[in-house]
Structure 1
Amino acid sequence: MSQPTDSETIWVTQEAYDRLVVDLDHLKNVVLDDITAKIASAREEGDLKENGGYHAAREEQGKTKARIDQLEAMLRKAEVGEKPADDGLVEAGMIVTIRFAGDDDTEQFLLGSRELLSLDSSVEIDVYSPTSPMGAALQGKKVGDTVSYDAPNGSTISVEVVAAKPF
């Protein structure tokens, strides 16, 4: 699976974009304020070296700031668009079901970015970037099409598109 690069666009629906903005606002204006209050309260207790509450709050602050940075980066890279049509055509934002040549089993994944899944933590599915070798080969194909692509290990892999539905 490919991780998005700094320059890679993250395609999101308006609904998903709005949820990211609300999450970011909540973290910046509610969660960080609460953590700052916890740190101030713990400082008043005295010796910080052995103050577990202080260290826990500082750790929570670091994790929250990291999530804020991640959300801000996602929003900078976000391209708002419509949910893809349910027309069986493979494109970003689709749950794609494939079958590898010579295998009866199918595999399902989201063609898009992992950030889309962070918006709905109830969904557990692999994610492939549209710029990954398989993602790029499948873009624009439709149900029933078979494509081949070169895997990172140098082997050529053939897959058939079994289904493509909007996420």
Structure 2
Amino acid sequence: MSSRPPMTQKGADRLRGELEHMKGPKRQAIIAAVAEARAHGDLKENAEYHAAREEHGFNEGRIAELEAALSNSEIIDTERLNVASGRIVFGAIVDLIDVDTDTAVTYQIVGDVEADIKKGLIAVSSPIARALIGKSEGDEFDFTAPNGVKTYSIEKVRYV
């Protein structure tokens, strides 16, 4: 098994898009802002200049972070996964029902770098993802959440 962290193809594409934006239009806008602020004179007390330089540093840091994540990850195309066993693995989209409240929620298990709970993307290393891995449709499982133990029923598993 690879020691490289997994990432979905969709997540890699999204990060590549962000990287292109950061290296292209955003970098150019920051360079222009630095040049404009520099033209205002004394750099010691020029807040615009210092803010633009700080933004430049953040942008370059994010570029390095994205490049490292993309080069170090193992890209997995979830559409090509042959999951005949019906078991939940990396990349699965899982529809869950909270047994206690009868509330539905949908999550996709993705790489750590691409996780975004607001979009329903949970990191493969998260406690709920670890609880889901290996389970199948129809299974119920307990999960220890920050506000106590929750019981979920797995309604549907799909790979898209």
User: Normalization by structure 1: what TM-score?
Assistant: 0.68
SS in 2 for 1:66: helix
CA distance in 2, matches of 1:137, 1:145: 11
Q: In the superposition, relative to structure 1, how do residues 124 and 58 fare at CA in structure 2: closer, same or farther (>3 Å)?
A: same
Q: Which residue of structure 2 lines up, in the alignment, with residue 62 of structure 1?
A: 57
**2:114 is paired with a residue of what secondary structure?**
helix
Aligned to 1:24: 19
Which residue pairs with 1:148 in the alignment?
A: 142
1:7-156 residue pairs with structure 2 within 5 A?
A: 9-13=5-9, 16-84=11-79, 85=81, 89-113=87-111, 115-116=113-114, 124-149=118-143, 151=144
The alignment yields a C-alpha RMSD, in angstroms, of: 3.5
Identical aligned residues as a percent: 30
Give 3-state SS (helix, strand or coil) of 2:78's partner: coil
Change (3 A) 1:47 1:91: same
Aligned residues: 155
C-alpha distance in 2 between matches for 1:103 and 1:31:
45
Letter of the aligned partner of 2:40 in structure 1? E
Distance 2:95 2:82 in 1: 14
Aligned partner of residue 141 in structure 1, secondary structure: coil
Deviation digits for residues 77-114 of structure 1 (CA, Å, limit 9, x no counterpart): 32112224596642222332212333322222222246
5+ residue gaps, structure 1: 1-6
Letter in 1 for 2:134: G
